[in-house]
Amino acid sequence: MNSSIFLLKKLLYLILIIFLFGSCAKKTDYIYFQKLINDSTKLIVQKPFVPVLKPDDVISITISSVDPDVVKPFNNGGVSAVDKNSLIQQAPTYLINEQGEIDFPVLGLVKIVGLTRAEVTALIKERVKSYVNNPIVNVKIMNHKVTILGDVKSPGVFLMPNEQLTLPEALAMAGDLQITAVRKNVLVIRDVKGKKSEIRVDLTNRSFFNSSVYYLQNNDLIYVEPNNAKIVSSKQTLQYTSLAVGSLGLILNILNLLIK
């Protein structure tokens, strides 16, 4: 009986420790973009990042006008796909080769490496003008992506829906941070001229809006680390589980004896 009471007390003690462990975090550890008391300074936001095209980038280009037949030759190149659900042909895509060129219908090889999406749009529109009156050119970057790992709800690789994706938007795509995530030390790994650069940001500090990683770039990797309580908890999960199961069985046996 003494042994049973001892094990029961130990189980209750462990449960108490876990409860205290999880309740020691402060509210300020979880709130995003906090404003300091009596801080009347204006919020400074980092300037939007505008990507330039590089070899191996994939872009889609569509040309339209009031006369659909006139622009058909310009929309039959590249690699196209058909959405099986809607049976709508998607815009053709073009891979930028090592020389920084794409092979565009009618126009032939067009060098676009080092240009922004807006500059490519203007370049193609100017070239197509010789064949089409008032052409409408739509250019979209298709392969830019970010990777989100760590203590978020849905980690993974996410295509950038536009060229000016912010870090908060990317984390929202991953389902936001878990309650156990460390918001004050989010790591962004970025390729800068062939070398990996590590930038750490504090999401609880509103100065984050002026961080160099507020606007993400292609192939950025975001890692959100779990807090110490979660790490300790994960290490002890098996120990606690086995102890809890054994203790629960013991408690049931004691209850059975008392009932009898």
Q: What is the pTM of this model?
A: 0.72
Q: State the fold for domain 58-141.
A: wza like fold (3.30.1950)
CATH 3.30.1950.10 in the chain, residue ranges: 58-141
Q: Is 128 left (phi over 0), alpha (psi -120 to 50) or beta?
A: alpha
Tell me phi and psi for residue 158, to 5 degrees: -125, 130
Question: What DSSP string describes 25-65?
Answer: --GGGT-SSBPPTT--PPPP-PPPP--B--TT-EEEEEEE-
CATH of 27-48+144-226, one of 3.30.1490.190, 3.10.560.10, 3.30.460.20, 3.40.630.40: 3.10.560.10
Q: Nearest 5°: CA angle at 120, between 131 and 93?
A: 85
High-pLDDT (> 70) share of the chain, %? 69
CATH 3.10.560.10 in the chain, residue ranges: 27-48+144-226
Q: What is the pLDDT of residue 156?
A: 97
What pLDDT digit, counting tens, does each position of 139-170 carry? 999 999 999 999 999 999 999 999 899 999 99
